Amino acid sequence: MKEAIVGKGPKVLIIDSPIPEPGPDQIVTKVIVSGSNPKDWKRAEATEKPLNQGDDIAGIVHSIGSNVYEFKPGDRVAAFHQMMSPGGSFAEYAVSWSHTTFHLPQKTSFEEGATVPLASMTAAVGLYQRLALPLPWHPTNERIPLIVYGAASAVGSYVIQLAKQSNIHPLICVAGRGIPHVESLIDKSKGDTIIDYRDGDDKVVEAFKSAAKDNGGKIEYAFDAVSEKNSYKNICKVLDSKSGAIALVLPGKEYSAIPPTIRKAQTAVGTVHKAMDTDPFQNRGGTEVGTPDFGFVMYRLIARGLNEGWFKGHPFEVVPGGLGGIEGALKNLKDGKASAVKYVFRIADTDGVGKS
C-alpha cells in the first residue's frame, strides 16, 4: 500500500508499506478519506524519525481483531488513530482501537467523517474530563458562562456543539475570519456572543469584562483552543481568580502566566488510548471509569449526533492529489492559512494507489 511519512519542514515522502494486521482489540480500515490536524506538522518538528502522522480515519472496515464485537468488514466507520504509533491515516489502510472507532451514518460523507475524530474528542475531554462540566446526558439547568477561544477552529466548533447539548450558556466565543461559521453554531437567544480577536487584546479583554458583568460579575470556565499568542493571558484577566478553570490544548508548555489560583488542565486527548489516567474517579472500587471508557461512550454519542443532525463535522477542503497533497496542506497549517476549514485527502486520488 502507499503510505505518507511526514518529517521536519514539513516534508512528506510517499513509500510502499505492507498492509497492517489488527491486534485483538484493533480494526484495520481501508481509508477512503484522511483528515489532518495542526499536530501533524508540530509533532513532526519535534520528532527525529519521520512518521505517518495521520490520526483521522474515515473509510471501510477491512479486517478486525479477535476481540472486536461491534464492527465487521464492510462497515462504514470513522476512527481516531493512536498518535505516534504505526498504522496512521496517511495511507491506504490504517489501524485504530475498537473503542475509538465509531459507525459513520449513511448521511455522513467520508469527507465530513474525516474531520471529526481527533478534534471532537479533544473538545469532549477538555469540557467533561478536565473542566468537569455537566455531561450531555445530564444537562445543566443553571447558567454557566463559558469562554471558547478559537471558536472557529475544529476543536472550538466541537466545543460549541457539545456545550449546547449540555445546555451550557452563554458561550463567549472568540474568533476572527471564521466568525460567519461560529455565527451558524451559537444560540444568541441564550446569550451566546462572538468577540473578534482582530480588534486587539485590549478590546478582547474589555469584551470579556462586559460579558462577565452581564453574568453576575463572574466567569469560571474557559476552553482555550488556541493556547498561544496571548489567548490564555487574555482569558485570565477575567476568569475568576478563586474558582476559575481553563482547558488548554497545546502540550509541553508550562503556562506560567496563568495565576496559580486558577485551575489549569491540558486536554491530553491521547489519554483515550491509555489505561492510566489522572481521572479522580480511578481506584475507588466498583466499575473504574477512566478516559478510555469516556472515549468509548463519547464517540458513540457523537455518531448518534451525526445521525440525528445535532452534531456536524467541520467545514472541509478536499486537497488535490490525495497523499501527494499532504505536504502542501501541512505547510498551509503551519503558516496559519486555514480558517474554519479542515484539510482532507481522498486516498484514491494518490498516484499509484491500488497498484502495489
CA distance 3 to 94: 10
**Tens-place pLDDT, residues 163-182:** 999 999 999 999 999 999 99
- pLDDT confidence of 342, banded at 50, 70, 90? very high
Check if the beta carbon of residue 78 is closer than 8 Å to that of residue 118: no
CA distance 234 to 239: 9
The pLDDT of residue 278: 46
- pLDDT confidence of 217, banded at 50, 70, 90? confident
* Span 126-143, average pLDDT: 96
CA distance 46 to 43: 5
**Residue 167, Cβ neighbours under 10 Å: how many?**
16
* Span 307-313, average pLDDT: 98
The pLDDT of residue 215: 83
Q: What is the mean pLDDT of the chain?
A: 93
Distances (CA, A) of 246 to 201, 218, 350: 18, 14, 41
The pLDDT of residue 107: 97
- pLDDT confidence of 216, banded at 50, 70, 90? confident
The pLDDT of residue 286: 45
Q: Which residue has the higher pLDDT, 286 or 269?
A: 269
The pLDDT of residue 350: 97
Angle at 99 between CA 295 and CA 132, to 5 degrees: 10
**Tens-place pLDDT, residues 60-89:** 999 999 999 999 999 999 999 999 999 999
CA distance 126 to 169: 17
* Span 284-294, average pLDDT: 65
Task: Report whether pLDDT(287) > 60.
Answer: no
pTM: 0.94
The pLDDT of residue 276: 44
Asked whether the bond before 170 is cis by omega within 30 degrees of 0, the reply is: yes
Residues whose CB falls within 8 Å of the CB of residue 331, separated by 6 or more in sequence, listed in order: 9, 10, 41
* Span 215-243, average pLDDT: 94
- pLDDT confidence of 338, banded at 50, 70, 90? confident
DSSP string across 196-255: EGGG-HHHHHHHHHHHHHHTTT-B-EEEESS--TTHHHHHHTTB-TTT-EEEE--SS---
**Tens-place pLDDT, residues 95-105:** 999 999 999 99
**Tens-place pLDDT, residues 22-60:** 999 999 999 999 999 999 999 999 888 999 999 999 999
